[in-house]
């Protein structure tokens, strides 16, 4: 009987180990997909297919959003997952967007295109290193990120390429006129935009993390209408709406910083 009980206990332990291993592997598959899409973006950018290169970066962002949520859902968060995720992020959101923007715009600036492209990649790496250190020491926040998250910066650059490509596309793809009018101006500001995104990534400006499950559940009519409005824009104008959403997110941190500074000045003057 004792041997039978010991055998049953061993089998339970083995089953538990298998389940735990499966839980760890599941989010890693999405991390690998994130890395693969970033790699494919590099290939398409080198072949001058900038639209597909931009879409693959967007696909990487989707995979990056899913792997973290799945890891938390199945309780499979680990140091290995943090390191693997950051390595994939640096390829997909640090190297791929920089290489895409160099081929798309920065090469026209000659020598000065090199340091701008490298600065973005460098600051992306520093952003990820800081995030990993905070995660390992349990200092990361579930409510806010310190500095602009690197997927957010990559999303702006990728969606900019997708939106700007509509100006040169012969296909009948719907676009927002207000966005299209700004594209030539933004094209000329690309070096400054990339420098700004680089500095935002390594800044201490807090950005909303959207990790709480409650944020995904509409609790009011206003919340439902907002979600439906966002979905409508993405379906009707996918490229332009992505550029708007990523840009608003990047600017939200700056706007909140200015607002807090103004409020502090008012309190000190009273």
For the chain, list the domains and their CATH numbers: 2-269 (1.20.120.1760)
pLDDT value for 230 = 76
> Are 158 and 58 spatial neighbours (Cβ–Cβ below 8 Å)?
yes
Which of 63-72, 105-114, 136-145 shows the lowest mean pLDDT across its residues?
A: 136-145
H-helix or E-strand spanning residue 207 = strand 206-208
pLDDT at 174: 78
* Residue owning tokens 């909303």: 208
Can you give the pLDDT at residue 150? 96
Q: Is the pLDDT of residue 14 over 50?
A: no
For 166-213, the pLDDT digits (tens) are 887 766 677 888 889 999 999 999 999 999 999 999 999 999 887 654
CA angle 99, 159, 214 (to 5 degrees): 120
198 touches 94 (CB < 8 A): no
Q: Which two tokens stand for residue 111?
A: 């020598």
Q: What percent of the chain has pLDDT over 90?
A: 52
Confidence of residue 262 (pLDDT cuts 50, 70, 90): confident
Does pLDDT of 164 surpass 60?
A: yes
pLDDT tens digits for range 41-85: 999 999 999 999 999 999 999 999 888 777 767 666 667 777 888
Summarize pLDDT for 19-33 with one digit per residue, the tens.
444 456 777 888 999
Grouping H, G, I as helix, E, B as strand and the rest as coil, residue 70 is helix
pLDDT at position 270 is 67
Residue from 18, 96, 26, 125 nearest 67 by CA:
26
Asked if residue 147 lies in contact with residue 203, where contact means CB atoms within 8 angstroms, the answer is: yes
Contact 45, 95 (CB under 8 A): no
Judge whether residue 131 has pLDDT over 80: yes
Residue 182, token pair as written in the block: 């700004």
β-bridge mates for residue 144, sequence order? 208
What three-state secondary structure class fits 206?
strand
């Amino acid at each position: 009987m004792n041997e039978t009980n010991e055998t049953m206990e061993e089998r339970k332990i083995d089953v538990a180990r298998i389940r735990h291993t499966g839980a760890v592997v599941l989010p890693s598959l999405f991390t690998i997909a994130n890395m693969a899409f970033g790699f494919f973006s590099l290939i398409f950018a080198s072949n001058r297919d900038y639209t597909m290169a931009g879409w693959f970066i967007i696909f990487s962002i989707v995979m990056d959003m899913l792997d973290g949520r799945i890891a938390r859902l199945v309780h499979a968060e680990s140091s290995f997952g943090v390191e693997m995720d950051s390595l994939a992020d640096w390829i997909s959101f640090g190297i791929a967007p920089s290489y895409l923007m160099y081929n798309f715009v920065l090469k026209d600036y000659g020598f000065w295109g090199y340091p701008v492209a490298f600065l973005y990649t460098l600051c992306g790496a520093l952003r990820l290193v800081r995030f990993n250190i905070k995660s390992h020491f349990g200092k990361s926040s579930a409510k806010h990120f310190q500095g602009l998250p690197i997927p957010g910066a990559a999303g702006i650059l990728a969606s900019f390429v997708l939106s700007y490509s509509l100006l040169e596309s012969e296909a009948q793809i719907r676009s927002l006129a207000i966005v299209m009018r700004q594209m030539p101006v933004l094209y000329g500001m690309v070096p400054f935009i990339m420098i700004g995104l680089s500095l935002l990534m390594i800044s201490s400006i807090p950005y909303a993390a959207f990790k709480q499950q409650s944020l995904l559940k509409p609790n009011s009519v206003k919340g439902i209408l907002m979600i439906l409005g966002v979905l409508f824009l993405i379906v009707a104008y996918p490229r332009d709406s992505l550029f708007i959403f990523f840009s608003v997110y990047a600017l939200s941190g700056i706007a909140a910083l200015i607002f807090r500074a103004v409020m502090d000045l008012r309190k000190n003057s009273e």
